[in-house]
Amino acid sequence: MHLPENGLGGQGEFGTCHPLVTAGFFFAAAGITMFSMSPVFLGLSLAAAVSYTTVLQGWRSLGKNLGLTASIVVLMSLINGFFTHDGDTVLFYINSNRITAEGFFYGAWAGVMLAAVMLWFSCFGILMTSDRLIYLFGRAAPVCGLVVAMIFRYIPLLRRRFAVIHAGQRCMGKTTSGALERARQRVKEGSILVAWSLESSIDTADSMAARGYGLHGRTSFHLFRLEKRDILLLCTMGVLTLVLCVGVACGDTSMYYYPRPVWPAWQSQILYLLCFAALLAVPFCVDLQGGLRWKQYDLKV
């Protein structure tokens, strides 16, 4: 049996960084993306998000992520195009309502922004395990930290539980043929899932209360230490994020879509675009450096 190429499973070298580094990167990447409507910035963020999701989840996830992105872009484009009537380029009329090209154009890039943010937080859910979330929020906001950790834990857990319930129902002979019967069966399985989840959440809350979680003066065990690498990454990402925040405040990371698209001068965007590219390249560079180090060790089992 061979170890993974970087020896760290599916999280990569970036997954071993301090939780402050990991959380800081994803909040910075998603935050800058949400406040940028320039197609160049959104396209760069989406490409980096799809690439890093593929690194974490494998090549099999690439088709699913691209399909999800395309669905979101098309849906947002249609919704904005048919319900927003601003713009000068009129395509046709529906009941005296103008359907403009600018509406579809703005909706498409809004969909790109939404897809990029969703993919970044998908990566966040993979790398930020429950112990990391509790470490970040446990002292400042213990209840908030526990709720966030449970939310990210329950998303994949509910899928696994539903698969178990569905398999158990099929083993009991609960097979269906018609669409109505299938709908009734899915509602029944969903009811079982809700009851199971509520009972489990009560047990979890009682267990945490019995251990004194959230009490004043309570300490918790963790293995996280800020190393030189983490401090260097925090400083680098902090400087890049600060520069990008200036660009967002000045409007140099966005553009006007109405009444017609006005492309910003590339001279005003080039500095912020380079900083954004450098920020998004941080996890790739860390993983690459970790992979090269493991290759030097030449560990094989």
| Stronger pLDDT, 214 or 168, i.e. the higher one | 168
Alpha carbon distance 230, 236 (integer Å): 10
Each residue of 164-183: pLDDT tens digit? 888 888 888 777 777 788 88
Most confidently predicted of 45-54, 150-159, 160-169: 45-54
Return the pLDDT at 298: 59
pLDDT at 7 over 80: no
The pLDDT confidence band at residue 8, using thresholds 50, 70 and 90, is very low
- CB 55, CB 282: distance < 8 Å: no
pLDDT at 276 over 90: yes
pLDDT at 278 over 90: yes
Three-state DSSP at 262 gives: strand
pLDDT at 56 over 90: no
- Write down the domain spans for the chain: 13-134+227-297, 157-210
The pLDDT confidence band at residue 185, using thresholds 50, 70 and 90, is confident
Residue 2 has which token pair? 């061979």
- CB 257, CB 105: distance < 8 Å: yes
pLDDT at 10 over 80: no
Mean pLDDT calculated for residue range 55-81: 88
Mean pLDDT calculated for residue range 86-107: 84
Return the pLDDT at 47: 93
- CB 282, CB 32: distance < 8 Å: no
Sign of CA dihedral 182, 188, 191, 196: negative
